[in-house]
Amino acid sequence: MIKHSLDHLCVVYQDEAILAINKPAGLLCHPVGHYQGDTLLARVQYYFGKDARLVHRLDQGTSGIMIIARNMLVAQILYEQFSSRKIQKEYIALVYGRFPYEEGMVNLPLASEKSQESMIKIKMKGDPHGLPSLTTYKLIKRSDSYSLLKLHPETGRKHQIRIHLASLGYPVLNEPLYQHEGLPFLWEYYFSRKSPWQTPIKGLGLHACQIDLQHPFSKDGLSFRAKPPEDWANFLDQAWD
């Protein structure tokens, strides 16, 4: 059994009903396949008890704010808020290149795509017959090499923001799935110089910075924010236009 301590959790808020956690990049939300090791769920349940439930997820490489239900009743209430779109989320993203748009919306339906290596559906793809998927975006700042965006997913599909940004030609930093196949990995081999896709950021250039919801019992409006990882600092502090 993996031992944890509260140092393994960045708790933004807690009460008798919910927890707000700033998930680090690189940590799985819950066990996947044969992997039963360290996960956000394991850490939360170790410290706060086995009744704690995840009511949404972030990709392993994505950092940011997550809401945890302290028991099944709270989880059911929060599931309803998610399904009725009463919970709003805001992300920031670092993307490759000089993003040309000030603001806009990506309307690209998404469907699951089976991996060629296994039957597990790990990727998504644009599909006119897929599930409706909408993401609004706004440029915060940009340089010739990178751009910083603010995004609001109007729907909650798997990998939605990542594939929507890639569909515009501007994948998030360290994107492993949705970009020109092989290019970031073969660049140094063919051109004998450092790849522009290499960054000091450990995870994806995607961070869930804010979540707004209604408290499951008091019905008060709540808003929680989470700072991006420390390794974003060099990008956020550099000179921009």
Q: Which of 230, 80, 96 is nearest to 174 (CA)?
A: 96
Q: How many residues does the chain have?
A: 241
Q: How far apart are CA 152 and CA 133, in angstroms?
A: 11
If you search the block for the tokens 């929507």, which residue do you land on?
Answer: 164
Based on the residue annotation, tell me whether 59 is a catalytic residue of this protein.
yes
Q: What is the 3-state secondary structure (H, E, C) of 31-56?
A: CECCECCCCHHHHHHHHHCCCCEECC
Tokens of 93: 């993203």
Q: How far apart are CA 166 and CA 175, in angstroms?
A: 9
d(CA 57, CA 121): 16
Q: Which one is catalytic: 51, 59, 127, 144?
A: 59
Largest CA distance in the chain: 60
Distance between CA atoms of 172 and 208, rounded to whole angstroms? 13
Transcribe 88-134 into DSSP letters.
Answer: EEEEEEEEES----SEEEEE--EEEE--SSSSS--EEEE-TTSB--E
Which residue from 68, 81, 80, 86 is spatially nearest to 15, judged by alpha carbons?
A: 68
Active site residues: 59
